[in-house]
Chains A and B, each alone.
Chain A
Amino acid sequence: DAGVIQSPRHEVTEMGQEVTLRCKPISGHDYLFWYRQTMMRGLELLIYFNNNVPIDDSGMPEDRFSAKMPNASFSTLKIQPSEPRDSAVYFCASSSNRGGGEKLFFGSGTQLSVL
């Protein structure tokens, strides 16, 4: 298996632009997580899905952020409009059999810079 695949690897955009981050989880995994990592705030859980359904989005910072999972093999995190304070590394992770608190498999992340 190729692991969790995220794209793009790097994204540089200007304030006010729409940004879309993409994630392909590991096949067969039924949980998908989006995290944001910054020096100041560490790793923050933004939202997670189970069987393509959003379960908890309490970590989504504001209405400018939205996430979708149209099928088991694809998820997007969209920021519209983007702001400089959104600059961070965004990670997608997937797992299965969450009832036992199984381990997360992380993608390589998207480094987002909003100028």
Chain B
Amino acid sequence: SQQGEEDPQALSIQEGENATMNCSYKTSINNLQWYRQNSGRGLVHLILIRSNEREKHSGRLRVTLDTSKKSSSLLITASRAADTASYFCATDAGGFKTIFGAGTRLFVKA
């Protein structure tokens, strides 16, 4: 069963705009990760945020985590056409399992 659920399921924006994707999960976690998947390829790790962190930045990426609401958001600033991909959140509840959500498909129009 999926632990994380992303919304929206799909997002279409213009190049230069910001893209925000949200993830909700069900049980307590030790950390939450975001991955990116280009069509026909494997997933690539973007960023990891631990349960005792509230915000983390990496380049144009900003991730927030609210453990009280069991939710996280991924913000991509100044989006580019090359950011077009599917984005997944993944949670590690301590059992060494990494469970992925259903993903958000992002389309950035040039």
Quick one: CB contact mask for B44-56 with A, threshold 8 Å, 1 for yes?
Answer: 1100101000000
**Complex-state Cα separation, A26 to B101, whole angstroms:** 25
Number of interface residues, chain B, beta carbon within 8 A: 24
Contact A91 B30 (CB under 8 A): no
Q: A101-B30, A101-B31 are in contact. Are A43 and B48 (CB under 8 A)?
A: no
Q: A43-B88, A103-B33 are in contact. Are A56 and B45 (CB under 8 A)?
A: no
Expressed in whole angstroms, the minimum distance between the Cβ of B66 and any Cβ of chain A is 18
Contact A104 B45 (CB under 8 A): yes
Contacts of A105 in B (CB 8 A): 45
Expressed in whole angstroms, the minimum distance between the Cβ of A23 and any Cβ of chain B is 11
Contact B43 A91 (CB under 8 A): yes
Give the interface size bracket for A toward B.
20 to 34
B99 interface residue per 8 A CB criterion: yes
Quick one: CB contact mask for A4-48 with B, threshold 8 Å, 1 for yes?
Answer: 100000000000000000000000000101010000001101001
Quick one: CB contact mask for B26-60 with A, threshold 8 Å, 1 for yes?
Answer: 00001101010000011111001010000000000
- Chain B contact residues: helix, strand, loop or mixed: strand
26 contacts between A and B (CB under 8 A): A4-B42, A33-B98, A42-B2, A42-B100, A42-B101, A42-B103, A43-B88, A43-B103, A45-B97, A50-B96, A56-B96, A56-B97, A91-B42, A91-B43, A93-B42, A100-B31, A101-B48, A101-B98, A103-B48, A104-B35, A104-B45, A104-B90, A104-B98, A107-B42, A108-B42, A109-B42
Q: Which residues from chain A sit less than 8 Å from chain B, CB to CB?
A: 4, 31, 33, 35, 42-43, 45, 48, 50, 55-56, 91, 93, 98, 100-109
